[in-house]
Structure 1
Amino acid sequence: MDIDNRDIAKRVIQLSGGKQKLNDEMDQKLAQINEKWDQDVGAIGRILRAHLFVEYFITECLVAFNPALGDLEKARLSFAQKLGLIEDYSPEIQELAVGIRRLNRIRNQLAHKLEATVTSQDKESFLSVKTFRALREELAKPGTPSDNSMDVLEDFAKHVGSRLNSLSDPDSLAKRFQQALRESEQRT
């Protein structure tokens, strides 16, 4: 059987109510598609970079805390599963986990809705991590750190990477954090 594509095209136009209606419908659909395509690639890149960066250091900790663990590539663990495996390792990671989960939620929203947004609620979730907020403010003095939600997300990711890297390295900044925490607790 030989199909005539011109006959099919004519019938589609007819079923659509004519050429103008079909063109209008196709323009509307194309606009919807382009709306999803025309995202802020800078924001997408910043979110994905932050997420991948944090996941790298979560994996580094997981391996450092469990040297006989085996090949993580073969295990194909999700971001959330990896975090769950290291979360109870220390109070520091437990504190960071709130913001880390929020970062994962933002990345998941991007993956499922194609929307690259970091809301003020997201920003406040990151800033609720007290050690992050305090260190960020102190390091910015005499100025103040950026209030931009995307900047806060990136600063948080860098903080998490630094903290997790320190925890997986016994001769690191983590020891100074632990000493400062002990001294603070002794004063109270």
Structure 2
Amino acid sequence: MNIDHTQIVKRVIELSGGKQKLNDEMDQNLARINDKWDQDVGAIGRILRAHLFVEYFVTECLVAFNPALGDLEKARLTFSQKLALIEDYSPEIQELAVGIRRLNKIRNQLAHNLEAKVTDKDKESLLSVKTFRALREALAKPDTPSDSSMDVLEDFAKHVGSRLESLADPDSLANRFQQALREYEKRT
């Protein structure tokens, strides 16, 4: 079958109400497409980097806590499934999980809406992880840490990476955090 593309295009123009109407419609479509394409690639990169970073350390903990687990690649676990498998390991991971789930929600919104946003609500959810907030503020003194939602997201990801790496290593900073927590609980 030999298609005459010139005839097809001519008929499409007729069905569209003429050249001008077709051009207007195509311009509107292109504007909608460009709205989705023209995103803040810096923000997208920051969100994806934070998510991938945290997932790396969630996976490291999963392997460390379960040395006979088998091939995780073959298991094809989702981020949420991996988190669920390590969450009950310690109260610290349970606390971190609140913010980790929020980070995953932010990444999922990006994937489904193509909008790279970290809202004030997202920021407050991440800052609701009390140990993260307290450490962030203490380390910034005498200054105050950045109030930028994106900066909070990145700081949270780094905090989670650091904490999970420590928890996966028995001779690490995690032991000092756990000791400090036990000593604090004994005093109160």
Category of TM-score, reference length = shorter chain: over 0.9
Letter in structure 2 aligned against 1:21: K
Verify: 1:138 aligned to 2:111, yes or no.
Answer: no
Letter in structure 1 aligned against 2:140: A
Give the match for residue 96 of structure 2: 96
SS in 1 for 2:48: helix
Runs of 4+ displaced beyond 6 Å: none
Task: Quote the offset at 1:135 in angstroms.
Answer: 0.2
Post-superposition Cα deviations, 1:100-146, rounded to whole Å, max 9, x if no partner, equal: 00000000000111010000000000000000000000000000000
SS in 2 for 1:9: helix
SS in 2 for 1:171: coil
Task: Give, in whole Å, the separation in 1 of the partners of 2:13 and 2:78.
Answer: 47
Give the match for residue 185 of structure 1: 185
Task: Give, in whole Å, the separation in 1 of the partners of 2:43 and 2:28.
Answer: 26
| Identity fraction in percent | 86
SS in 2 for 1:77: coil
Give the match for residue 117 of structure 1: 117
Post-superposition Cα deviations, 1:130-173, rounded to whole Å, max 9, x if no partner, equal: 00000000000000000000000000000000000000000101
Root mean square deviation, CA, Å: 0.5
Task: Give, in whole Å, the separation in 1 of the partners of 2:183 and 2:67.
Answer: 31
SS in 2 for 1:67: coil
Task: Quote the offset at 1:2 in angstroms.
Answer: 2.4
Give the match for residue 10 of structure 1: 10
Letter in structure 1 aligned against 2:102: R
Give the match for residue 170 of structure 2: 170
Task: Give, in whole Å, the separation in 2 of the partners of 1:186 and 1:163.
Answer: 23
Query: What is the TM-score with the length of structure 1 in the denominator?
Result: 0.99
Q: What residue ranges of structure 2 are gaps of 5+ in the alignment?
A: none
Give the match for residue 147 of structure 1: 147
SS in 1 for 2:147: coil
Task: Give, in whole Å, the separation in 2 of the partners of 1:172 and 1:121.
Answer: 33
Give the match for residue 24 of structure 2: 24
Post-superposition Cα deviations, 1:35-84, rounded to whole Å, max 9, x if no partner, equal: 10000000000000000000000000000000000110000000000000
SS in 1 for 2:171: coil
Task: Give, in whole Å, the separation in 2 of the partners of 1:170 and 1:73.
Answer: 25
Residues 27-106 of structure 1 mapped to structure 2, 5 A cutoff: 27-106=27-106
Task: Give, in whole Å, the separation in 2 of the partners of 1:84 and 1:2.
Answer: 58
Q: What residue ranges of structure 1 are gaps of 5+ in the alignment?
A: none
Count residues in correspondence.
188
Deviates more, 1:166-175 or 1:176-185: 176-185
Letter in structure 1 aligned against 2:106: I
